[in-house]
A and B are shown apart, each in its own frame.
Chain A
Amino acid sequence: EAQVTQNPRYLITVTGKKLTVTCSQNMNHEYMSWYRQDPGLGLRQIYYSMNVEVTDKGDVPEGYKVSRKEKRNFPLILESPSPNQTSLYFCASSFAQGLGTEAFFGQGTRLTVV
């Protein structure tokens, strides 16, 4: 089954404790992205990757890191989480950009930073 898998689904952590949210896709997609979803703000892009070892900042990259060492994986790293990073996070993947390119989303990771 074609899918984007995120782990964990739920995470509660304390301020300053480094964490990693994993994302894996089995569709051989070139593009992968991370979004955060907050009430009234919709989905805002954090980082994106066009292929292995190629990443760039989205709209809200502060406080986050990513890496793309393999095509299928795109982990999101919070080196020193803060309460304002409490949010619902989604990973997405798609084929190379172009008209009609559908983005496939994971089921989300709800992060709470206390």
Chain B
Amino acid sequence: GENVEQHPSTLSVQEGDSAVIKCTYSDSASNYFPWYKQELGKGPQLIIDIRSNVGEKKDQRIAVTLNKTAKHFSLHITETQPEDSAVYFCAASKGSGGSNYKLTFGKGTLLTVNP
């Protein structure tokens, strides 16, 4: 089955700096890669996703890049703010119907943005 590795496990940055979180996946058939933000005691919130037919996607301060050949994808957050502090999870799936929408998650990155 799919295996998703995520690094680093913790990341501390100063407000205004950039943060980068990296993930690798093992199944070359995976074609959908979402990123989730989870605040303490809450469910994960989808913040951005990318499909295998594009290499990069951006939404304001957040961007995701995908390298299919190397089987890795990254989350980039620019101009970080204290409210960006949370646990971030990457995930991968085959993205087609029924059970193929099953997500495999990385272990998470605890991002702390210091004011």
Tell me if chain B binds chain A.
Answer: no
